[in-house]
């Protein structure tokens, strides 16, 4: 590795340390949701410990998306009316939003674009998971939301390198390889470092680390998020300067027993879901 790259890498890794810590409560909820011995009531009690997540949960639960006729005023009530799965998803979105909703300059993503992409990928991963008979929907949702977390840190370092990246892509490299070539690390590996720092469970770190290279780890959850990411990029949802310049892995289909037509059918389903969720989380693009 060249001296500049090593210098870059040191800077990048130290900027991870400056990220605000991931909410403890959300981390706890992810762990609890995956433990069969924990009741949803206990999860709701943990959620209540974080006032800003609670405020968001109440705001979103009362949005037209859920169509409830009465006003929800507590997390316990939200649990009763929405059910555990919805509550967990709202908690996760609320915890991830502050990191992902801003403008990501190096990738030329306007405010809200990376967030839309992440939410779209999370939903599509679940739709594909259902088709493939994959049970752990919380894992798919969390992995989908966080797969591109590395971009928020890497953006500042690739910002001035666009011309060089373009050359590399014209020469047949994909965006991930171009990132590595220029700054010494790609957004997937960097995202995994962030996940480690935040003490995410290993399965989620694997999704982040291998979402562009599922064949290197051979786990169904990683393959599903890979397909969901590809589907969301193909729909142009939150694709920036990198566009579709990533290698897609045909093996991912085989790992979960799906075909391209299943992906297309799920993309059609995503369209409606995403429209509704964007309204709930205030992401609807102004009509201008």
Partner 1 sequence: MARIVVGIADMKVSNNPEDILVTHALGSCIGVAVYDPVAKVGGLLHFMLPDSRVNPEKAKQNPYMFCDTGVPRLFKTCYKYGAVKKRMIVKVAGGAQMMDEAGHFNIGKRNYSMLRKLFWKNGVLIHAEDVGGTVNRTMELIMATGEVRLKMPGQEIKIL
Note the residues at the interface with partner 1 (CB under 8 A): 108, 162, 166, 169, 174, 230, 233-237, 239-241, 243-250, 253, 260-261, 263-265, 267-269, 271-272, 285, 287-288
State which residue, 77 or 273, has the beta carbon closest to partner 1: 273
> Any idea which residue has 């403008």 for tokens?
103
Are the C-beta atoms of residues 33 and 88 closer than 8 Å to each other?
Answer: yes
Task: Give me the least distance between CB of 202 and partner 1, in Å please.
Answer: 27
109 has which bridge partners? Answer: 104
For the chain, the maximum distance between any two Cα atoms, rounded to a whole number of angstroms, is: 62
Task: Give me the least distance between CB of 203 and partner 1, in Å please.
Answer: 25
| Alpha-carbon span 126 to 140, nearest angstrom | 6
State which residue, 6 or 264, has the beta carbon closest to partner 1: 264
| Alpha-carbon span 73 to 153, nearest angstrom | 36
| 38-43, Cβ contacts within 8 angstroms, sequence gap of 24 or more | 40/79, 40/84, 40/87, 41/76, 41/79, 43/79, 43/84, 43/87, 43/88
Task: Give me the least distance between CB of 274 and partner 1, in Å please.
Answer: 9
Task: Give me the least distance between CB of 265 and partner 1, in Å please.
Answer: 5
State which residue, 136 or 174, has the beta carbon closest to partner 1: 174
Phi-psi sector, 83: left (phi>0), alpha (psi -120 to 50), beta: left
Task: Give me the least distance between CB of 10 and partner 1, in Å please.
Answer: 28
State which residue, 71 or 261, has the beta carbon closest to partner 1: 261
State which residue, 27 or 234, has the beta carbon closest to partner 1: 234
State which residue, 44 or 121, has the beta carbon closest to partner 1: 121
Task: Give me the least distance between CB of 118 and partner 1, in Å please.
Answer: 15
| Alpha-carbon span 227 to 242, nearest angstrom | 17
Please enumerate in sequence order all residues whose Cβ is within 8 A of that of 109, keeping only pairs 6 or more positions apart, or say none.
103, 117, 151, 238, 240
């Amino acid at each position: 590795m060249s001296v500049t790259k090593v210098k870059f890498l040191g800077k990048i890794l130290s900027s991870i340390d400056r990220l605000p810590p991931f909410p403890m409560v959300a981390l706890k909820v992810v762990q609890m949701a995956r433990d069969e011995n924990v009741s949803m009531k206990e999860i709701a009690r943990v959620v209540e410990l974080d006032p800003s997540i609670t405020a968001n949960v109440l705001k979103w639960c009362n949005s037209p998306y859920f169509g409830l006729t009465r006003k929800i005023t507590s997390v316990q009530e939200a649990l009763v009316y929405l059910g555990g799965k919805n509550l967990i998803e709202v908690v996760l979105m609320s915890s991830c939003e502050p990191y992902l909703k801003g403008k990501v300059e190096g990738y030329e993503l306007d405010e809200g674009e990376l967030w839309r992409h992440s939410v779209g990928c999370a939903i599509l991963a679940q739709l594909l998971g259902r088709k493939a008979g994959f049970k752990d929907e919380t894992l798919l949702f969390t992995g989908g939301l966080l797969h591109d977390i590395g971009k928020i840190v890497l953006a500042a370092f690739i910002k001035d390198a666009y011309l060089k990246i373009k050359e590399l892509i014209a020469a047949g490299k994909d965006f991930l390889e171009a990132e590595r070539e220029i700054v010494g690390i790609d957004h997937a590996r960097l995202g995994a470092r962030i996940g480690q720092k935040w003490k995410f469970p290993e399965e989620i770190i694997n999704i982040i680390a291998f979402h562009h290279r599922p064949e290197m780890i051979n786990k169904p959850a990683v393959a599903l998020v890979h397909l969901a990411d590809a589907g969301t990029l193909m729909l142009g949802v939150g694709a920036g300067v990198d566009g579709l310049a990533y290698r897609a892995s045909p093996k991912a289909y085989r790992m979960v027993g799906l075909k391209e037509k299943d992906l297309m059918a799920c993309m059609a389903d995503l369209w409606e879901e995403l429209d509704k969720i964007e309204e709930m989380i205030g992401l609807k693009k102004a009509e201008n």
